[in-house]
Amino acid sequence: MNGGIDLQGTFIESLTDLGLAPDVAKVLWMPLPMVLMIIGATVGVLVVVWLERKISAGAQQRIGPEYAGPLGVLQPVADGLKLVFKEDIIPTKADPWLFTLGPVLVVLPVFVSYLIVPFGQNLVITDLNVGIFLWISLSSIAPIGLLMSGYASNNKYSLLGGLRAAAQSISYEIPLALSVLAIAMMSNSLSTIDIVQQQSGYGILGWNIWRQPAGFLIFWISALAECERLPFDLPEAEEELVAGYQTEYSGMKFGLFYVGSYVNLVLSALVFAVLYLGGWESPVPLDKLASWLGVNEDNAILQVITASLGIIMTLLKAYFLIFIAVLLRWTVPRVRIDQLLDLGWKFLLPVSLVNLLLTAALKLAFPIAFGG
């Protein structure tokens, strides 16, 4: 059941059959995955914004958006168009270059990180041997953009928000990286494809969430802090800092921050699903299900169903995690900045270190159960 379709080869072969040179076909293929990635991530953000409005309305016993399209599904599109056409203002005493570059540095690394997210066996743009390492490296760039934006705005609230974002990111990136390192140790690989395959074969019982209970909690808390979701939205706490590093921004620059936060939330949920929830794998192993039904694994229809089910399972797991994140926003109070830093440095960091050492010990003692 590990077979699949080589999308790149099929696309290039189809264009070659139409009379195009192979080199021209390869050039036409190169921008296509990136365009599809950007479109897919943007659609995912629109869905998350609509879900957040509806879930928050339900939590507060309200209706939420309902007039912009059926059930208000076009409300996120209306919000995006409003930001596109709003006036873009740069404060007089702000640094125009850093002020403009900051939002770009926040959004661009998140979009690039989608390169390594697998939605199926062969439904990944780039299967890198160091995919997870690339994601951790790219995630450390965004705080630079936030700090740059806060500094360039020439506003005390923006500067405090940027400093908080940098401090928060540093304190939570280390536990997050250590929890991911434990998964990589169990999988003997940093490839997202290999990590999912290592969890296959036993259905839901083979998922890493059972072998890494402490790691998945550390990862989820750190991911919420990285995405600046409540209760960790200190860099833009409205009651304290107006809007933090976003205070002086308007128009599409503000829209980039808005899109970047939700794109990062979707990305974190997808990576969580890949690392701990088996990625595209179903709770029931499909090869066993096919044998029970008496269907040949090489059946073309079964392969199409398997690929479609893989995409559905990945998205279902990711959006379930997004639902939990949205629900936390309306049920958990915001922590103080000192509590946030204490949680990262004094609790999550030592626990993640112990979890990594314990994983290494269990891997040596029980190599079969822990991916030896």
| 173 and 220 together in one domain | yes
pLDDT band (50, 70, 90) for residue 199: confident
Identify the CA nearest to 63 among candidates 349, 71, 2, 133: 71
Whether 265 is in a domain gets the answer yes
Quickly list DSSP for 148-178.
Answer: HHHHHTT-HHHHHHHHHHHHHHHHHHHHHHH
Which domain covers residue 190, as residue numbers?
A: 86-369
pLDDT at residue 124 above 90?
no
Residues 176 and 145 in one domain: yes
User: Are residues 64 and 202 part of one domain?
Assistant: no
Is residue 79 one of the residues assigned to a domain? no
Domain identity same for 104 and 69: no
Say what percent of the chain tops pLDDT 90: 18
Query: What are φ and ψ of residue 124, in 5° steps?
Result: -140, 140
- Please name the residues in contact with 306: beta carbons below 8 A apart, sequence gap of 6 or more: 1, 286
What is the rounded distance in angstroms from the CA atom of residue 278 to the CA atom of residue 181?
Answer: 17
Which of 212, 261, 172, 246 is closest to 370 using CA atoms?
212
Residue 127 lies in a domain: yes
Query: Residue 102, CB half-sphere, CA atoms under 13 Å: how many?
Result: 30
Confidence of residue 3 (pLDDT cuts 50, 70, 90): very low
Domain boundary among the residues 48, 74, 100 is at: 74
| Same domain assignment for residues 27 and 136 | no
pLDDT tops 80 at residue 295: no
264 within some domain = yes
In a domain, 81, yes or no: no
Note the pLDDT tens digit of each residue in 242-275. Answer: 777 888 888 888 888 888 888 999 999 999 999 9
* Average pLDDT value over all residues in the chain: 83
Specify whether 221 is located in the same domain as 310.
yes
Asked whether the predicted pLDDT for residue 5 surpasses 60, the reply is no
Report pLDDT digits (tens) over 52-67.
888 888 888 888 888 8
Same domain for 282 and 320, yes or no, is yes
Is 212 in the same domain as 67?
A: no
